[in-house]
Structure 1
Amino acid sequence: MTQKHILSLLVSAALLCGLLAGCSNTNGDASHASSSASEPSSVSSESAPSSTAQADTSGLFNKDFDENSLFSVDGTAAAFEPSLGWGPGVSGCSLKSVQAAATLLVWADEANLSARTETAIEDAYTQWYDNLSDSEQEGFAEAWPMIKDDAAALLEDKDAMAGRLEDVGLDAKELTFSEKDWSALEDVVDPLVPEAKGEY
């Protein structure tokens, strides 16, 4: 009888140890998640007007890209996300265009595209583009000329575009980009974008 009591106490102790170990790991994960959530983001938290959908760029801006890798480019889908779902004539297209241009400019700079090979940039773009539906590809082809125009305007004088940037929740003072990184992207993407069929 005593052996059964000792055995049951040992089993109970083992279960209790396992339970406590599990709780301590859960607490560690929760504190890690809360510290990650409290990290500051360079994107303004202002809400965008109802005429435009504000893209989630929190994972894009100030991302640590591996500048030593010439053969892979990260963050392509997040960078091009604001370029989808609209086109000329769509409500709020001028705001969506400046948001898409700003996002691509910042990504090109942070990914240091001017130091990447054309093949690496082309691979990153085509992998993203090939996963789009036919309507998304057509929409991007329609939007691309507007995005390029706004990118050129931002490169020339981003302070003059501060109002439009603020309307989509971006702060002109916090955006950094360079013409050489944008040119590296534009030179690769331009010949690959098909002629739009004018569905928008």
Structure 2
Amino acid sequence: MCYDRYVAICKPLHYGTLLGSRACAHMAAAAWTTGVFYGVLHTINTFSMPLCHGNALGQFFCEVPQILKLSCSHSYLRELGLLLVSGAFIVGCFIFIVFSYVQIFRAVLRIPSEQGRHKAFSTCLPHLAVVSLFLSTAFCAYLKPLSLSSPALDLILAVLYSLLPPIVNPFIYSLRNQELKDAVKKKMTGCFSATRHCLLSSVNGL
């Protein structure tokens, strides 16, 4: 998404060349392959770790930090190494995103029309907000000191970085589609009319 916005705003005349169907397929395949590979490595490592503190997690899913709390001493070093490697990869992606958005904002600020600047910012800011939410809460969940750990805080952070971004992504990106906006508005108007009709019927019945 970041690269898409960068090309669309900074190199609009090359958009069709740089982001054709083949480029999109390659980026999607790279993202899916990386995700599957990362998940498989974590699964193999966590299943191979002996648990010395029971097998009950204080979470609704097997989050890695919660599993590490149950593992024996020194048995989790391999998993920590994997987390460090993935953390370095995430930091690299974050640097790429920051660099891209610096270029994007520089290009947007050079747009003479205020309406054009507003349109460009409204396109980029939702994606930046979701990415910031995911990265900040994930880093807090994985890197916070053990003294700050508590079941309630761990649960909140897990929900924020694992569930909230995928839930809000479709709404953020699809609500920019005018057809979807019209459909949502029509649906809300229909619900409002039906509710009003039910209330009036109840009042008349009394």
- What range is the shorter-chain TM-score in? under 0.3
- Higher percent of residues as helix: 2
TM-score by length of 2: 0.22
TM-score by length of 1: 0.23
Higher relative contact order, structure no. (Cα contacts within 8 Å, ≥ 6 residues apart): 1
